[in-house]
Chains A and B, each alone.
Chain A
């Protein structure tokens, strides 16, 4: 069996965050987790592709192209991405590649994510994603699942029961007509419950696993605050082409520009009447007041860019993915606290 295996800088053993900008590199050997997978496959010939998380996230199109070319040249039986467990950038890149490569190359691809990874909701309908635990501590089990799936995919099998195989289903809902009306099924379900049976559900409520509340800012006078908005406030020419709703992209713009020339900004959100905000953008992004407070020493620093999406009708999975990317960026910029305006 021949595998092309994609890893980030960390899993390839090159380095940590400081190596996140390395470009794409291919090696004719199994490295790190790729060796584990090859073992579980009973031996396999592997080309390991390594790429830094930042580089991949910022040059996704180019990376996809290059990887597609490589796969076309190498003709592996399957492409394995990661697994990425709960990693933000790595997860999004692995899932995006797992979605795109089969269409481009005809070679099946598979990745692995933890169920809370924002990339899951965004890509589960388009990519084969194995269920993994939260961190690399779960690597052996994750590779076990992937190793069982790879030969089936290589043989061209269409996996009928994703859950049984350890995959997330596409997560979609499909209508069907059944024998018994819903009223009957509901009464049956209730009687089963009252008899102490395990009755399940026809529609699973998502587990909003509560995240730990972030600790308060210890010293506001030394803190770096950033402004984020879902209200679609952009420069007049909308240079990043943000859409008025059903957002998939986010952008950031200089606060200096907004404070100095608010008339150059407008709200492009399709879900509310933007007249008031257009007359005074600080009604959506309160940069004037926050700037003032920085000057007074009340707040340590205002991050020099504000972040924006248009929140109308944004599918939850897109909001989560964008939120995860923005959160990544904020962390890298050393932001201590955020003021977020929603509509």
Chain B
């Protein structure tokens, strides 16, 4: 699905745990998510910690959206 949105020229940051498949399909801006069950979540943290953690993840996505790319790139969220 992401590919169609990119085809329309809209930069798309894709959160997924399975980056090989995303890369093979040709998504350009891939952010490694936190696992299939909670791709932008981390239930091991307390709610305020989780929110701060999610914020860092989205920051990474925003960074991806502002980065020119020529081939599929994985933006790994640190921490």
Contacts and interface: CB of A to CB of B under 8 A. Distances in A.
Interface of A: 118, 208, 210-211, 213-217, 220, 225, 228, 230-231, 272-273, 275-277, 279-280, 282-286, 288-290, 292-293, 298-299, 309, 311, 319-320, 322-324, 326-328, 330-331, 335-343
A320 B4 contact: yes
A335 B71 CA distance: 23
B5 interface: yes
A55 to B, nearest CB: 21
A275 B41 CA distance: 12
B56 to A, nearest CB: 9
Contacts, number: 165
B40 A211 contact: no
A89 to B, nearest CB: 12
Interface string B1-39: 111111111111111111000100110100001001111
A216 B1 contact: no
Nearest to B9: A214
Most buried by B among A228, A282, A340: A340
A67 B57 CA distance: 50
Nearest to A247: B1
Interface of B: 1-18, 22, 25-26, 28, 33, 36-43, 47, 50-51, 54-55, 57-58, 61-62, 65-71
A215 B12 CA distance: 10
Contact of A283 (B43, B58, B61, B71): B43
11 contacts: A216-B67, A217-B66, A273-B37, A277-B38, A277-B41, A284-B41, A290-B58, A293-B62, A339-B65, A340-B13, A341-B40
Contact of B26 (A210, A277, A336): A210
Nearest to A231: B39
Contacts of A327: 4-5, 7-8, 10
A211 B11 contact: no
A215 to B, nearest CB: 7
B4 A220 contact: no
A86 B61 CA distance: 30
B11 A214 contact: yes
Contacts of B18: 342
B72 to A, nearest CB: 9
A333 to B, nearest CB: 11
A107 to B, nearest CB: 32
A211 B71 CA distance: 10
A326 B5 contact: yes
Contact of B28 (A213, A292, A320, A328): A213
